[in-house]
Amino acid sequence: MIKRLISLATLLCGTTIAFSSDSMDDLLRAFKNESELSKITKSESAGFLDIYTRDELEKMQARTLMDVLKLFTIPNITRTSNNINQFTKPTFPVMPPFAIRLYVNDHDMTSSSFGSALMLWSEMPVEYIDHIEVYKSASSVEFGNEPGSVIIKLYTKKPEREEGGKIRLLADQRGSKEADIYHARTLKNGLSYLVYANAGDIERKSYENSGHSIDSDSHEQSFYANISKNGWCLEGGSYRKAKDSFLGLGRTYTPNYGEIESHHRYLQLEKVFENGLNIRAGYDHLDHHENESDDSGIPAGAAGYVTNYDLWLHDKIISFIAEKSFTHTKGKLLVGGFYKNKGLDVEGDFDAATTSFTNTLHLYSLYLEESYNFNPTTTFIASFKGDYYRYEKEIESKKEHIIRVGLIKNIGPFQIKTFFTKTYYAVPFLYLYGPDNTPYKVNPELKFPEPALTSFGVRYKEGRHTIDARMSLITVKNKVLTKPDGTLFNIPKGWYHQYELRYSYEIDDRNRLKMDAYMGENASGLTMSPKYGAHIELFNSFDKIDLYNQVGYRSNFDYYGVNIEPTYDYTASLKYHVTRDLSVGLRGENIFGTGYRQSYSGLPYSMPIFDRKFWINMEYLF
């Protein structure tokens, strides 16, 4: 017996020595990759899915959501003349912001004014975000909220996966400074919490136009917290940003001054029951202020051109959502409904002209979705959603609906997805009350656009290689276009085609290659944004070093008479792990200064969308 114990002890000792710390790190890394939260939260039936994992966000040293948005193939990120971030589809000008929905966990970051609060939250910090899911050719049915064809879901870090905290300090060569801190814990009584805070002063390159300074600096504060126990979760956030208005809205882009300040805070209470019932109650409050002066004149609708432009928007939104999943032998049935009370209060001063109005929308919705498995390799999806819009005054009530059917088929290493969606986009208050009238009056001609989306995709996955080929054909009744002054108008019909090819290669647990290419075309034949584009991303780790390299390409296009040549963006980052708890990093953005550009009406040259930046950072885990 003693000999056996000695032999066993000797064997264990030898095994321990042979099983080095590097091997243990490899095992832990493999376990971490396999247990990624994104493997739990993703929904393949919701559309074409792209995921930015926690490992990828950490290696690219993503600071804000914008660092991820600029990697989107379809749609592309751009910015307006007054420094608001918006999207374009290949060959199209700016998309209406309400076509893209943003969620933090299950909370829709909505807005009474703009329809979607992504215009503000596009630059939010992401240090407290675990991973990001992007659904294209999607519908709102599965997520039980307002309609959109692109849905971005941000999932916050989970206390049970953190059990500690982190401090991150950042600075760049222009004098920008930023700090993040979060702490997460699970207590013995089952209660868990996550608390996060951020503050930053961001300095951007200044330009000059006709002797006037063109600035884009910003100041921001962000806060997020959640607390959970026994299926209950209370979460809330606040994001405040004040920034210079870049070129502004003036006729010759010669601002005396200009600033945009926004502050959005929200609170949501959620209860998940064991029987599949989920109930949520939420409150959002958004304040938005645009203040600008330009002697050349700023267009203000019927007020003509004014020197001083002041606009205040105040959103208040109350929402209640209830849904239940019924699991059966052949799949799952989701049934739900929600009510939203969306109020807006607007005040405007345009030299001697003033405007003000208030209105409230009562939005009622019922929806259901059936996922039916014909067999282990074939799933049929059918969805229906009915929405009723009742406005407090001036705007006629509307009834809208969404119908969606889809099929997912697995054949060996292939997965085939096809969807048909007949949907609509709700036009928010700010566009229903067009600035062509001062005081603002309802635009009686503007109708909700009604897209019909047909999409088809094939995925091939063999070993560590994955290839995705996708195409979407979109026809739109009552298509909405935007005038240079921001006013929206309908055209009877339009169509759009987009194509996307993606490839990823998992070299091993620490190294990954991703590539994508895309193109699009529209009915007009005009090319008002890049028709073609591509990205290459390489994620590497060697010993204590993490590396990230990204090259982006956008083709030439002509906008407002300015031809923009092909652009190339190169971003790279390096992180050195000094210890398990301490790391230092360097990230370069638009390193060669040849990055994406945008032109503006009346300006004879284009302007960069992103600066050349070099960030240094320090991270400490505690």
Let me know: does 131 contact 52? Beta carbons within 8 Å.
yes
Mean pLDDT score across all residues of the chain = 90
- Coil, strand or helix at 296: strand
CATH of the domain at 484: 2.40.170.20
Exposure on the CB side of residue 448, measured as CA atoms within 13 A? 24
User: Which whole number is the average pLDDT over 276-305?
Assistant: 93
- Quote the domain boundaries for residue 550: 22-621
Please report the pLDDT score of residue 179 as a whole number. Answer: 98
Whether residue 11 lies inside any domain: the answer is: no
Residue 178 and residue 131: Cα distance in Å, rounded? Answer: 21
Confidence (pLDDT) at 140? 59
State the pLDDT at residue 32.
58
DSSP letters of 2-54? HHHHHHHHHHHHHHHHHS-HHHHHHHHHHHHHHT-THHHH--GGGSEEEEE-H
* 322/338 Cα distance (integer angstroms): 6
Residue 14 has pLDDT above 50, yes or no: no
pLDDT at 307 over 80: yes
The two beta strands, 150-156 and 100-104, are parallel
Query: Would 2 be classed as within a structural domain?
Result: no
Q: What would the pLDDT profile of 121-142 be if each residue is shown by its tens digit?
A: 999 999 999 999 999 877 657 7
CA distance 145 to 336: 10
Q: Is there a domain that residue 17 lies in?
A: no
pLDDT of residue 7: 45
Q: Which residue reads 């990954």 in tokens?
A: 512
Express as a percent the part of the chain with pLDDT over 70: 91
Look at residue 330 in the predicted model and tell me its pLDDT: 93
Amino acid at 306: V
The number of folded domains in the chain is 1
Q: Would residue 232 count as lying in a domain?
A: yes
- Using alpha carbons, list the distances in angstroms from residue 235 to 83, 107, 183, 268, 336: 30, 9, 15, 5, 22
Summarize pLDDT for 489-519 with one digit per residue, the tens: 777 788 889 999 999 999 999 999 999 999 9
**5 part of a folded domain:** no
Predicted model pTM: 0.91
Q: What does the pLDDT read at residue 304?
A: 84
Res. 484: pLDDT tops 70: no
- What would the pLDDT profile of 84-96 be if each residue is shown by its tens digit? 999 998 998 888 7
Residue 600 lies in a domain: yes
* Least confident segment among 21-35, 339-353, 407-421: 21-35
Nearest to 446 by CA among 497, 393, 402, 398: 398
Instruction: Read off the pLDDT of each residue in 398-411 and give the average, rounded to a whole number.
Output: 95
Provide the pLDDT confidence category of residue 613 given band limits of 50, 70 and 90.
very high
Tokens standing for 58? 């950490």
CA nearest to 448, candidates 482, 402, 490: 490
| pLDDT of residue 408 exceeding 70 | yes
Q: What is the pLDDT of residue 21?
A: 46
Mean pLDDT of 281-295: 97
**In the prediction, which pLDDT does 46 show?**
83
Averaged pLDDT, 109-114:
91
Give the pLDDT of residue 395: 87
In a domain, residue 14? The reply is no
pLDDT at 618 over 50: yes
Q: How confident is the model at residue 18 (pLDDT cuts 50, 70, 90)?
A: very low
Q: Which of 16-25, 44-53, 527-536, 598-607 has the lowest mean pLDDT?
A: 16-25
Q: Tell me what the mean pLDDT of segment 291-307 comes to.
A: 90
pLDDT digits (tens, 9 = 90+) for 249-273: 999 999 999 999 999 999 999 999 9
Alpha helices in 374-476 (DSSP H): 429-432
Give the residue-averaged pLDDT of 331-360.
92
Residue 482's pLDDT band (boundaries 50, 70, 90)?
A: low
Which of 161-170, 197-206, 294-303, 418-427 has the lowest average pLDDT?
294-303
Please give the share of the chain, as a percent, with pLDDT higher than 90. 73
Write the DSSP string, 41-94.
H--GGGSEEEEE-HHHHHHTT--BTHHHHTT-SSSEEEE-TTS-EEEE-TT--B
The predicted structure's pLDDT at residue 480 = 74
Does the pLDDT of residue 25 top 60, yes or no?
A: no
- What is the model's pLDDT at position 443? 73
Q: Average pLDDT, stretch 53-63?
A: 97
Encoded amino acid at 460, one letter: Y
pLDDT at 524: 82
Tens digits of per-residue pLDDT, 435-463?
555 555 667 678 888 999 999 999 999 99
Residue 166 scores a pLDDT above 60:
yes
pLDDT of 469 strictly over 70: yes
pLDDT at 487: 65
